[in-house]
Amino acid sequence: MFIGCGTAMVTPFRKNGKLDEAGMRRLVKRQIQAGINFLVPCGTTGESPTLVHAEHLRVVEITLEEAKGKVPVLAGAGGYNTAEVIHLAKELVAMGADGILSVTPYYNKPTQEGLYQHYKAIAASVKKTPIVVYSVKGRTGVNVEPSTLKRLAAISNIVGVKEASGDMAQMANVIQEVPDSFQVLSGDDSVTIPLMALGGKGIISVVSNEIPAEMTALAQACLRGDYAAAREVQRKYLPLMNINFVESNPIPVKYAMARMGLLEPKWRLPLVPPLDANAARIDEVLRQTGLIDAAAN
């Protein structure tokens, strides 16, 4: 269900700081019109740590309403309190989410056995719903080892992993350890091609917020083994993939989308607008890639 390119959706806010529901609908429609393979609302790119519970549910609800079954919706539900994650996952499943993306617990830094028991408990609570583990050590301080993913892959509704460790050797070992049916997805745009060449099934993408059609084309080219076509996309947009992380995600991508006229340039504290120097660098990449007019100020 979750193969190809899925967009880790940003969450738009209005100038008064409230959720921009109309803006969220526009972003979802844009993704679907561009041919995206699946949508991922309320991940860290969606600033989920600063969404109150009702907003989290509303963002997923809007995504489901606009998706209308045209594409699967993999809703974010993760955290460091297993009981709270279970409660949220049940609510999202009841709303109609097609799957749950669950980031590893952070700060309390569980052991590998703790991670296994955490995900096992979540899976048992929503038995018929696919779960994708999200491993991103750089943001959580916790790594899901290949041996742990092998154990988790034996649980019927744990179907994949968003692998954002940044460690290609680990990604290769994960693919070696898990069954072929287990969906190993890149969590970093710039390494989508090598991961898929190793046997990965796609990407949960940040840059597809800006270029959904192009990143979908890259992922689909990889799936059919046309790596020359995938490399063409990579060469053109690698500077954009890289500049999206010049500051903490999603600061740069939301700035870029605002410059493209897609949303208001609004973040929630503790995130703030990019430094002027970095904003200028983002502008230059947007001009180089043709996403804003070359003469834009």
Question: Closest by alpha carbon to 150, among 127, 173, 129?
Answer: 173
Is 119 assigned a catalytic role?
no
Backbone angles phi, psi at 4, to 5 degrees: 85, -135
Q: Which of 116, 162, 254, 266 is catalytic?
A: 162
Let me know how long the chain is.
Answer: 297
For the chain, counts of helices (H) and of strands (E): 12, 8
Q: Which strands make up the sheet holding 183-186, listed edge to edge?
A: 38-40, 4-8, 202-205, 183-186, 158-163, 131-135, 99-103, 74-76
Residues 6+ apart with CB under 8 A from 156: 123
Is residue 153 within 8 Å of 163, Cβ to Cβ?
no
Is 162 assigned a catalytic role?
yes
Is residue 269 within 8 Å of 224, Cβ to Cβ?
no
CB-side exposure of 256: number of CA atoms within 13 Å? 33
Residue type, 276: D
Task: Assign 203 to helix, strand or coil.
Answer: strand
Angle between helices 82-95 and 53-67 (to 10 degrees): 30
Structure tokens at 211: 């270029």
Q: Which of 134, 254, 255, 266 is catalytic?
A: 134
Q: Whole-angstrom Cα distance, residue 127 to residue 125? A: 6
Positions annotated as catalytic residues are: 134, 162
